[in-house]
Amino acid sequence: MSVTVKSAKEIELMRKAGHLLEGVYEEMGRIIRPGISTMEINECGEKAIRKRGCIPNFLHYGGFPASICVSVNDEVVHGIPRRDHILKEGDIVSLDAGLIYKGYHSDAARTYAVGKISPELKQLMDVTKQSFFEGLKYAKAGNHLYDISAAIDDYVSQFGYGIVQDLVGHGIGTSLHEDPQVPNFRQKKRGMKLVPGMTLAIEPMINMGTWEVIWEEDKWTVVTKDHKPSAHYENTVLITDGEPELLTLHM
């Protein structure tokens, strides 16, 4: 699949898809507290997506059994929601969710604190989020794709954290995953030139310890190899003539 450049009309639909997803996150964010199950978060998110007249794009994607990926502590991404997985004080929980609006996809991820968390976990969450914004500074027409990757890497590496390499960001549009891949670590080359109308899901996944990850027996849940915690932050981003536009976050 080649990289798609969206028309003004398509951009309008993606903007709407992104804005609707932001509302879904507001609803999910409100229910996160010690004592709720990861399944309850999934149900809240799916309901919020459907009541907006949209379709959860993760549901049945490659066989994924839920609408929202809910990953706790050492789970990096693709955590399967469960009735018997109860959040407790001091956990961190990463949600990855997306929806389809009139054929166009949005995709975003956030990591939340459950009750009061340690300063170490707070820093991991803050650095992960900030690394997205460091990459975003380079998401401009005329720059190259891997300028984004290098900026994320340079920022995160100062803290001694591990950057997940097995999973990366991606183009997005009428498919959830389009070309190009958007790595969160430095590449040897600068990659393709960015042009207005490209839409990218930039999504650093940052581990407190090693960058290495393993897949659990359920074939979905990705966990850190050393079982230290991991955080995730993602937005769908539009490349423009000027500053990048965040489609899934209004600041």
| Residues forming the site for Mg ion (CB under 5 A) | 107, 201, 203
Q: Find the helix or strand (DSSP H, E) in which 167 lies.
A: none
CB of 18 to Mg ion, least distance (A): 13
Q: What is the C-alpha separation between 165 and 163, in angstroms, rounded?
A: 6
CB of 116 to Mg ion, least distance (A): 29
* For Mg ion, the closer CB: 107 or 134: 107
Q: What is the C-alpha separation between 21 and 27, in angstroms, rounded?
A: 10
* For Mg ion, the closer CB: 112 or 132: 132
CB of 85 to Mg ion, least distance (A): 22
Return the half-sphere exposure (C-beta side, CA atoms, 13 A cut-off) of residue 207: 24
* For Mg ion, the closer CB: 207 or 235: 235
In sequence order, which residues have a C-beta less than 8 Å from that of residue 83 and are 6 or more positions away? 37, 39
Q: What is the C-alpha separation between 162 and 186, in angstroms, rounded?
A: 13
* For Mg ion, the closer CB: 39 or 237: 237
Rounded (5°) CA angle 202-194-58: 30
CB of 118 to Mg ion, least distance (A): 27
Write the DSSP symbol of residue 194. P
CB of 83 to Mg ion, least distance (A): 26
